[in-house]
Structure 1
């Protein structure tokens, strides 16, 4: 049997990397297991995304993040976290998915798509971006429907429906409109979301007001077909031409992995995992949570900037129990 690591970290995003840096600082042996590429969630963000936070609030491990922009972009963030990982020689296994965390004689056996590891402590820092919230409507599985928006050029001259009213939906609507798409937004609420980036919100509101982007408020998508969609509006159901649907309906953590590890979730719709906010330890001894996964379905509560300290809390507790 291979020797057990002091800490095994599930997830190679910014918070997973921060945990690795803190583990090394504490003199603990560690490894990160990441199912995709390095900082996989950030890699899958839209190509031209700009962060809400300033660069210094995205820093980890006391490594400066220098940006030429007031707010850093996706390419800058990818470069920064890659440099942090490579320059520090972070011990990480990429493109390897954790399938099960099982108690085993005072330790944990972590089974992955490529093998198995043993660790005395496990940190789950898996984020929330990999599992979209589905609309559960006819036609959602058509190839023309996506829950991940990447590049606006693809939608040039097309009839595009964007679902949602928050940052990702607003970015998709504005960018595709400016590449020549005919954009319709379908929004459950009465207005554009209050958390939309302050420098973008007036832009989308003005485009809607002038009619450049059509928006149906208090509305929802009913069905998707190859050349059209049905929308429920306050004035009744309508059918409009459509080539593509960009469904920015939000995402959720991997609750199945948490439950299989024995972590308790609240019985309400939030599915809040059980953990001690002082140590980040869950109801399962020596299993910790870090980052946005701590919020359950409330995925807007935790960000890089306000969960970086989870790494220090966890490693302090692990070190104290060593």
Structure 2
């Protein structure tokens, strides 16, 4: 009996897409360029946008009690993360269309590769944004207001690398907004624990996106694009260790502030264990970091999904204490 043959990988796939991803193998051919604009072939970004939302709702539930509506908050945030990550990436590709063609890793993206026009990309951006807005409208008024405010950072981020060596800060401001939104969707009001989670998330984003940016540092230097990878240079491990420690301290403050006076010290202890696991994972990444090895940088960057889910698991466990 003959062995089944593997389906061939399409020649028009994006360079840094996950090997064998569903977009390249299963999606209708007409839809592939749009799904690639949304980075559906690289799900890690959706996870990194969703995880702060999960931090917010699970810590909020541990602090003030689980409600059945929290299930919808999680599902709504998951769908919203997919859509808004897609909209944000589409916007990023529109604004970077003249840069991406000059960078080895990004020249195969749909716009510079000629798979979609700028007008088609703009239409896709609007469709994704409107769908995400419909989901946002199911949350309370305070969360809706926060969701709309986040668009400021989404709009600015693609331009940040043109005027600052800290574009990762602007990415962090946008990507971790879900911690504020999901906490507010659960509790009805913004609170200091959510703010500390948000700040911890920004430190985490600087950590993982600096690792990611090391893949492009040579091309970035040639075309004049800035990043923390270029700013930190050989001192990257030391600088990332500082952000690892800073982010972990902020997350501990979020846990203690949210749980000690509400759920109690046992729940807070469980939450802090989650922060410890998170910090250990980041330390593990640093121990294996090779800034000049693009494959290692990409693998470590992707491992941050697992790092971010560690606090989610422990915050969820704390609900029962």
Same fold (TM over 0.5): no
Greater helix share, structure number? 2
Greater strand share, structure number? 1
The TM-score with structure 2 as length reference comes to: 0.28
The TM-score with structure 1 as length reference comes to: 0.28
- Say which one has the larger Rg: 1
